[in-house]
Amino acid sequence: MKWKSFFLVAVTVTILGLTAVYVYKNIDAFKRIIDISADQVCVFLILQLISVAINTFMLLVLLPVYGVRVSFPDGLAYSTLNTFLNYISIKGGIVAKGYFMKKIHKFSYTDFAVSMGAMVLMHFMVGGLIGIGVLILIYIIQGNTNIYLFLAFSVVTAIVICFIKLPVVQDKFGGNGNYFLKKLYELWNSWKLFSKNRNVMCVLSFLVFMNFVVYAFRLKYGFHVIYNDVPFLSCLLISIMGVLSTFAALTPASLGIREFVVGTGYSLIDGDMLQAVVVTSLDRAVSMIQVFGFGIISCVYLLKRSGQQ
């Protein structure tokens, strides 16, 4: 266990170190971030607040499946606290979210963990399908597309669908004594539970899709502000990659990881990697205004709520 912790720390430090070196070597490009106006910051904040609202509604739609109902203020507090603490500690947001949900809403840690895992599966399934669709549209419009991205999205989609559909998951994982396989079985059961509700599945799929769309508009606006206009389909494609990369909990708030993934994805569709990294960094920099503002308020709110139980 110590070696695992040491390895994760080493990976985190390495990623953050490489990120710092990359920024330093391209400091002139990143300086363009500080040139945006107050009006442009406000547009970013509005788009980011829409993303926060979408994440809140996802929680409100998902939790009743597990017998837990939360108010919109509580859901908003959970969403913003999660993002805020992720900037402070790699898993700080999810841990605090689970603690308060158990304290306030009597939602067990096990059910909370598997419900969040089911949402991750939903993001990858919807993201994979949309990614494939976007690449096909790009091919129809432009006459060419990136086969490696197409294969990557296809593999992700196939893995998720196989996991949730194959009966071998139930037959082999359920009675296995291995800790990891047991967790996979719990995740499969969690997915099975809320996938029975077609209305919930449809609404969550739509909200996940809208999450990708809003982040795509944030990136598109960033390109417009700093560089030139970029086709929306290109922004939608890299937005999917950016959102999915946030589940890689290797650095606080996936710092450096999301920027690299978005930049790499943009370069694979013949874009400038540095431009995409700068735009993603701009979006992150502005988002930290509302992340820390709402995060602190949410922390105080949930502490008071938990004290009332």
Residue 23: inside a domain: no
In the predicted structure, residue 289 carries a pLDDT above the cut 70: yes
Residue 6: inside a domain: no
The reported pLDDT for the residue numbered 167 is 56
pLDDT in tens, 231-284: 999 999 999 999 998 887 778 888 889 999 999 999 998 889 999 999 999 999
Residue 102: inside a domain: yes
Print the domain residue range for 129.
Answer: 38-307
For a pLDDT cut of 70, what percent of the chain falls above it? Answer: 88
In the predicted structure, residue 57 carries a pLDDT above the cut 70: yes
Q: What is the pTM of this model?
A: 0.89
Residue 125: inside a domain: yes
Q: What is the DSSP string of the chain?
A: -HHHHHHHHHHHHHHHHHHHHHHHHTHHHHGGGGG--HHHHHHHHHHHHHHHHHHHHHHHHHGGGGT----HHHHHHHHHHHHHHHHHSTTHHHHHHHHHHHHHH---HHHHHHHHHHHHHHHHHHHHHHHHHHHHHHHHHHS---HHHHHHHHHHHHHHHHHHH-THIIIIITT---HHHHHHHHHHHHHHHHHT-HHHHHHHHHHHHHHHHHHHHHHHHHHHHHS----HHHHHHHHHHHHHHTT-TTSGGGTTHHHHHHHHHHHHTT--HHHHHHHHHHHHHHHHHHHHHHHHHHHHHHHHHHHT-
Residue 8: inside a domain: no
pLDDT in tens, 168-195: 555 555 555 555 666 666 666 666 777 7
Residue 11: inside a domain: no
Residue 17: inside a domain: no
The reported pLDDT for the residue numbered 174 is 53
What's the domain count of the chain? Answer: 1
The mean pLDDT value for 107-131 works out to: 86
In the predicted structure, residue 108 carries a pLDDT above the cut 60: yes
Residue 20: inside a domain: no
